[in-house]
Chains A and B, each alone.
Chain A
Amino acid sequence: MISALRAEFRKLLTVRSTYFVTLFAFVLLVFMSLYVEGYKNGRENVAVGGSLYLAGSITQHSGILAIFGAIVALLLLAHEYRYSTIMYTLTSARSRSKVLLAKMLVVFSYVFVLTVVGALVGLWLMTVGLHWAGGTMLQQNISIVTYIGKMLFYTEGYALAALLIVALIRNQVAAIVVLFFEPGTFEALMSLLLKSKSVYMPFMSLAQVVAAPVKEIGRNRPTILSDTGTLSVEKAMLVFGIYLVVGWTIAWLLFLKRDAN
């Protein structure tokens, strides 16, 4: 298992895409937190006075970190199929389950670091931006642990879902299409049909984890109001968790049974 973990970490850290994607995520994070949430909102005094301003920024930061973290996660497995290195990976290992577990752990670790660093950097830059604009933030109604905890669940969930999509589809292009199409188009269209029940769809339930206090914030920040319905954070975690467990059980069984190509 240690061998598999070391190999997977090395795979992650020896391709340029990991660095490009991470860099792009941070560039976007810097722009959003320093300029939009800090400087611009500070100057226009948009809801900065609210006690849930910080809680609202979770959605923004989580979205950026999750999508880029998910792309890195997706590529870690998709490259194996695209470049046929999966045959080396599987013939070196005694167990296919360990290979899959090692990939999940590596993705989890990478996204953990990305999220914690991203959350702290984003928070700090937002404060810097506010001071730069001459604004001040009131005492916030959210702890830093909750702030990072929710972001972690969201980004880890997104990354593991991306990895799951590749494990099922085994094609890089198709997996990227599904990763963007499923939450962005499919679930959006389905929400027209399911109305308030749409929060039980995979990515919408995951979004509820970071958007849970939206009604409360809504008084001050109508721009982030959601009309998809609401779930408590715990219930949203449970719903998405069930999707993930069921999906990964199927992916794991297929990974054991299918030919490696």
Chain B
Amino acid sequence: MITVQNLSKKYKKKLAVDDLSFTVRTGKVTGFLGPNGAGKSTTMRLMLGLDHGAGKTLFDELPLYQHPQPAKVAGILLEAKAFHPTRSARNHLRILAEAGGIPLSRVDEVLEIVGLQDVARKGPGKFSLGMSQRLGIAAALLGEPQYLILDEPANGLDPEGIAWLRQFIKDYADKGNAVFISSHLLSEMAQMADDIIVIGKGKMIAQGSVNEIIAKGTGAGVLVRSSEKTKLKQMLQDKRVNFTASEGGFKVTGMTTEEIGMLLFGAGLPVLELSREEASLEEAFLEMTAGSEEFGTKKEGQQ
């Protein structure tokens, strides 16, 4: 288990990470979400001891550098293009293997796992972003670490690559390892992650299982449409039902489809549509992080 305790990091006057505490459980994939500039990468760097700040991170009770072979404890991917462009992919991995005390035979194994064996002798300077990500993932896997810390590993991967990564990460966690992964691909994260941590402006916003996080959003509800829209609205108001205008009808929250159906039947209103709308991680995320974007775009009509 990775235990993160009270991590903080200040750049001059700006607090990039503000008293973050959480755990990353073994056997689980933990998604790390937040808008751009929320402090995700800084948090990961602090966890690994690359940056210095307040608080501590323990990998099985010990900071990473106190383990006899850190490369066998945590595999990292923080930047896709972290390699010398003319040094071959194989030599790049061999250097990392030497530094981590890992047998060189492991290099060819990880190249095969990520599908780069055919370009192993080429300099990665001309690799596409997707190929670079694969090389980064290979580097992370070198020491067969118990913990994988991956910052945006799906960036630049093609659909096949994303599907491969999703399955690989789930399988890796199922073997009793822990994967801590940040991504902006929220639909992928919803499929991949067991636990979710959401931060904004360096602060903890929410943490819990994927279902718990989704439940915190207000995206779920029942969409109801009628040809008698005015009467429908009046009826919903009379019954003190929570609703909002949506897609030519109303989105009702806090009631089941059956309950609303009975109300409509009782009021004698014609029904054009009555359907359950599931909430998504994306909706929940957007609701939670509203106002905490560091680089938010201007909404239409906004001054």
* Interface, chain A (partner B; CB < 8 A): 3-4, 6-7, 10-11, 14-16, 79, 83-85, 87-95, 257-261
Please, how many angstroms separate the alpha-carbon atoms of A93 and B66 in the complex? 10
Total A-B Cβ pairs within 8 A? 86
Distance to closest chain A CB from B126 (angstroms): 14
- Within the complex, which residue of B64, B86, B139 is in contact with A15, where a contact is CB–CB below 8 Å? B86
Interface flag for B81 (CB, 8 Å): yes
Chain B hits for A93, CB < 8 A: 65, 70, 99
Instruction: List the B residue with the shortest CB-CB distance to A75.
Output: B84
Please, how many angstroms separate the alpha-carbon atoms of A95 and B66 in the complex? 9
Chain A hits for B51, CB < 8 A: 259-261
Instruction: List the A residue with the shortest CB-CB distance to B90.
Output: A14
Distance to closest chain A CB from B125 (angstroms): 10
Interface centre among B52, B79, B84, B139 (most CB of A within 10 A): B84
Please, how many angstroms separate the alpha-carbon atoms of A94 and B48 in the complex? 12
Distance to closest chain B CB from A127 (angstroms): 38
Instruction: Assess A14 versus B45: contact at CB under 8 Å? Given A79-B84, A83-B83, A85-B84.
Output: no
| Residue interface mask B95-139, A partner, CB < 8 A = 1 | 110111100000000000000000000000000000000000001
Chain B hits for A79, CB < 8 A: 84
Please, how many angstroms separate the alpha-carbon atoms of A92 and B49 in the complex? 11
Which 7 interchain pairs have the tightest Cβ spacing? A7-B99, A92-B99, A7-B98, A84-B82, A259-B51, A14-B91, A260-B50
Chain A hits for B139, CB < 8 A: 88
Please, how many angstroms separate the alpha-carbon atoms of A83 and B86 in the complex? 11
Instruction: Assess A88 versus B82: contact at CB under 8 Å? Given A14-B87, A259-B45.
Output: yes
Distance to closest chain A CB from B60 (angstroms): 15
A6 near B98 with CB under 8 A, answer yes
* Interface, chain B (partner A; CB < 8 A): 45, 48-52, 64-68, 70-71, 74, 76, 78-79, 81-88, 91, 94-96, 98-101, 139
Interface centre among A15, A88, A95, A257 (most CB of B within 10 A): A88
A15 near B87 with CB under 8 A, answer yes
Interface centre among B48, B83, B96 (most CB of A within 10 A): B96
Please, how many angstroms separate the alpha-carbon atoms of A91 and B75 in the complex? 9
Distance to closest chain A CB from B134 (angstroms): 16
Please, how many angstroms separate the alpha-carbon atoms of A94 and B71 in the complex? 10
Chain A hits for B87, CB < 8 A: 14-15
Instruction: Assess A10 versus B91: contact at CB under 8 Å? Given A3-B99, A15-B86.
Output: yes
Chain B hits for A257, CB < 8 A: 52
Please, how many angstroms separate the alpha-carbon atoms of A92 and B97 in the complex? 9
Chain A hits for B101, CB < 8 A: 3
Please, how many angstroms separate the alpha-carbon atoms of A84 and B45 in the complex? 13
Query: A85-B82, A91-B70 given. 7 additional CB < 8 A pairs?
Result: A3-B99, A6-B98, A10-B95, A14-B87, A88-B96, A93-B65, A260-B51
Distance to closest chain B CB from A173 (angstroms): 16
Please, how many angstroms separate the alpha-carbon atoms of A260 and B42 in the complex? 11
Instruction: Assess A92 versus B84: contact at CB under 8 Å? Given A3-B100, A7-B95.
Output: no
Please, how many angstroms separate the alpha-carbon atoms of A11 and B93 in the complex? 11
Please, how many angstroms separate the alpha-carbon atoms of A259 and B71 in the complex? 19
User: Mind listing 8 A-B residue pairs with CB under 8 Å?
Assistant: A7-B95, A11-B95, A16-B86, A84-B81, A88-B99, A91-B48, A92-B100, A259-B50
B50 near A83 with CB under 8 A, answer no
Chain B hits for A94, CB < 8 A: 65-68, 70
Please, how many angstroms separate the alpha-carbon atoms of A52 and B87 in the complex? 45
B78 near A10 with CB under 8 A, answer no
Chain B hits for A95, CB < 8 A: 65
Please, how many angstroms separate the alpha-carbon atoms of A207 and B88 in the complex? 39
Chain B hits for A84, CB < 8 A: 78-79, 81-82
Instruction: List the B residue with the shortest CB-CB distance to A79.
Output: B84
Distance to closest chain A CB from B47 (angstroms): 10
Chain A hits for B86, CB < 8 A: 15-16
Distance to closest chain A CB from B222 (angstroms): 49
Distance to closest chain A CB from B141 (angstroms): 13
Instruction: Assess A91 versus B91: contact at CB under 8 Å? Given A6-B98, A15-B86, A83-B85.
Output: no
Distance to closest chain B CB from A110 (angstroms): 16
Please, how many angstroms separate the alpha-carbon atoms of A23 and B303 in the complex? 62
